[in-house]
Amino acid sequence: AVAVCGFMGSEETDCGQGTGIDDGTPSTVASPFHLAQNHPNPFNPSTLIEFSIPVAGPVQLKVFDVRGRLVRNLVNRTYDAGTWSVSWDGRDDGGRSVASGTYLYELRADGERKVRKMGLLK
């Protein structure tokens, strides 16, 4: 579950610090493999990425720039089956703010892979 403190347009907005760490609680169980579009998109200063996995196992969620260079490892651990939410604060693995632009985020779990685009506006 994600703590929600407000709305952006018609969507609830997470007002956390955007650490790239989830709260450890799945919102549903036995969901299909799915990577949702981040929201808000474009974002500033943070965005929420939701994903679902059908079986428990190792999960990787990474952010890349458009040239394919790794920007941030958001997730690299085992999750139970279900739907999960992770926030990204627009910082790289070194804690530095990244530039405005288009970024790709990639989910790998259970032998599957999905990629989506997101935009950061400053």
| Cβ(97)–Cβ(60) below 8 Å | no
Summarize pLDDT for 2-14 with one digit per residue, the tens: 333 333 343 443 4
d(CA 99, CA 43): 12
Is the pTM above the cut of 0.85? no
Q: What mean pLDDT comes out for the span 68-79?
A: 97
Residue 45 near residue 89, CB atoms below 8 Å:
yes
Give 31's pLDDT tier (boundaries 50, 70, 90). Answer: confident
User: Given the structure tokens 């679902």, which residue do they identify?
Assistant: 52
Q: For position 107, what pLDDT does the model report?
A: 98
Cα dihedral 72, 19, 106, 5 in deg (nearest 10) = -150
Please give the distance of CA 49 from its chain centroid, rounded to a whole number. Answer: 3
